[in-house]
Amino acid sequence: MADIITIVKFLSTGVIALIEVIPASVAISLVLGIIIGILGYLQIPIIRYIVSAYIIAMRGLPPLTLLLLVFFSGSFVSPIVTAIVVLSVYHGAYIAEIVRAGISAIPKGQHEGADSIGLSVIAKMVHVIMPQVWLSIIPSLVGQYIILIKDTTLISAIGVMELLNNARQIMQVVYRPITVYVIVAVFFFVICFFLENLSKHLERRIKAKTIL
């Protein structure tokens, strides 16, 4: 029992790094995804090729490879900043596709109606299209952020003292690998389980509002 308490206390220090990385990555990737998603939908000459290249590159690269590439390039001084930037840029590409698909699913009549009353592209997206898009993409966004949270285990590769890195260190003191990794697994399971149920709850509320 004493060993388990020691393990939990030591692992809990790794939560601090996750508190720094996860909220920042979620916020930045969401903003980036919305902007890129809208640009991808609008099909602006030249910009659409840049958007397409970015999405193809991010979807074709393993996140760990990208993380190590950026880290060893020396672009950022702090491993924490490197982790936030890489996770944001990587998952921003997937969110962009979710947003673009959500916009494409809106009936053309909504776009034409907004255009007919003289709304600018930005005003149309902000006041007419995106409020409807949110209702349909929330479950997909939550699913993507569950993947992002799981990907935070990769940042131990660049020296960030998060749960997985702490798990390796505590095993040098208390050689109980199964116990250590079970505790780490439970931590991530609880977070992802909460988000999954939140997603289902939001989906039910959205469907109820749609029926009404």
The reported pLDDT for the residue numbered 78 is: 86
Kindly give the residue spans of alpha helices, DSSP state H, lying in the chain: 2-42, 47-60, 63-73, 79-105, 108-116, 121-124, 130-151, 163-173, 177-211
Of 205, 198, 210, 89, the closest CA to residue 146 belongs to 198
Q: Are 185 and 163 in contact (CB under 8 A)?
A: no
The reported pLDDT for the residue numbered 173 is: 78
Q: At what angle do helices 2-42 and 79-105 cross, to 10 degrees?
A: 50
Q: Are 33 and 98 in contact (CB under 8 A)?
A: yes
The reported pLDDT for the residue numbered 209 is: 66
Amino acid at 155: I
Q: How far apart are CA 67 and CA 55, in angstroms?
A: 16
Element of type H or E holding 104: helix 79-105
CATH for 1-211, among 3.40.50.150, 3.90.198.10, 1.10.3720.10, 1.10.3300.10?
1.10.3720.10
Distances, alpha carbon 38 to alpha carbons 12, 94, 95, 99, 171, in Å: 39, 13, 11, 7, 47
The domains of the chain are located at 1-211
Q: How far apart are CA 84 and CA 152, in angstroms?
A: 9
Q: Block means of pLDDT (10 residues each) for the chain, length 212 residues? A: 74 83 95 94 90 94 93 85 95 96 89 85 87 86 92 86 79 81 89 87 73 57
Q: Are 34 and 92 in contact (CB under 8 A)?
A: no
The reported pLDDT for the residue numbered 60 is: 93
CB atoms within 10 A of CB 210: 9
Q: How far apart are CA 107 and CA 166, in angstroms?
A: 50
